[in-house]
A and B are shown apart, each in its own frame.
Chain A
């Protein structure tokens, strides 16, 4: 079974530029998550999708971050404009669904550096 795929693995941009990350979840997983992991901290949930609908985006800085999952499979996360504090690893995860206790499976992340 293929895992969660993310690209790119690394990205370096200057502040105020824009950047986009892509995620392909495990086949058949209805729920998709984006997390931000700042160095020395645990992952923090940014947004959660169930199929192509948003379940929770309460911690997404909506003035600069956006995410979509138009066809209920792949997802993109965008930052525009980027700030220095956005330097982090952006992790995508997926799980079978919202019912019951389902572990989330993570991709290897995109490491973003803001200059």
Chain B
């Protein structure tokens, strides 16, 4: 039972344009959502998070949007840069936290010059 799904295994975007990565979840008990970025042979690096009481959180070029009714979140990267090429994981934690993260399968983002 895949509670967090990233349906696009890969995404290719031109440098300078917007990258949009999507994530869907099924468990309505999730209330904290995170995005991690992973380079080859390295561990995931925390990028940005959002609590269920918000619908948007912004940090520089990165913005996360949460649509609770649709159980959907997305990560927008504007403008996209070559260094953004990596695998991006969406993760969710249930109400009450305890930090028990459930991860999606990841989306490989490639930024083309």
A residues in contact (CB < 8 Å) with B: 4, 31, 33, 40-45, 48, 55-56, 91, 93, 95, 98-109
The answer to whether B101 touches A106, judged by C-beta atoms less than 8 angstroms apart, is no
**A103 to B: closest C-beta gap in Å:** 4
Question: What is the CA–CA distance of A55 and B103 in the complex, to the nearest angstrom?
Answer: 19
Q: Which residues of A contact B74 (CB under 8 A)?
A: none
Q: Which residues of A contact B49 (CB under 8 A)?
A: 101, 103
The answer to whether B105 touches A41, judged by C-beta atoms less than 8 angstroms apart, is yes
Question: What is the CA–CA distance of A104 and B45 in the complex, to the nearest angstrom?
Answer: 9
The answer to whether B89 touches A108, judged by C-beta atoms less than 8 angstroms apart, is no
A101-B51 contact in complex given A42-B89, A106-B45, C-beta closer than 8 Å:
yes
The answer to whether B93 touches A101, judged by C-beta atoms less than 8 angstroms apart, is yes
The answer to whether A101 touches B32, judged by C-beta atoms less than 8 angstroms apart, is yes
Question: What is the CA–CA distance of A108 and B44 in the complex, to the nearest angstrom?
Answer: 8
Give the residue name and chain of the A residue nearest to B45 (CB): A106
A4-B46 contact in complex given A42-B4, A56-B98, A102-B99, C-beta closer than 8 Å:
no
Q: A43-B89, A45-B102, A98-B99 are in contact. List 7 more A-B contacts (CB 8 A).
A: A33-B99, A42-B89, A45-B101, A55-B98, A93-B43, A103-B46, A108-B41
Binary CB contact string for chain B from 41 to 76 against chain A (1 if under 8 A, 0 otherwise): 111111001010000000000000000000000000
Q: Which of B57-113 contact A (CB under 8 A)?
A: 89, 91, 93, 97-106
Q: Which of B28-43 contact A (CB under 8 A)?
A: 32, 34, 36, 41-43
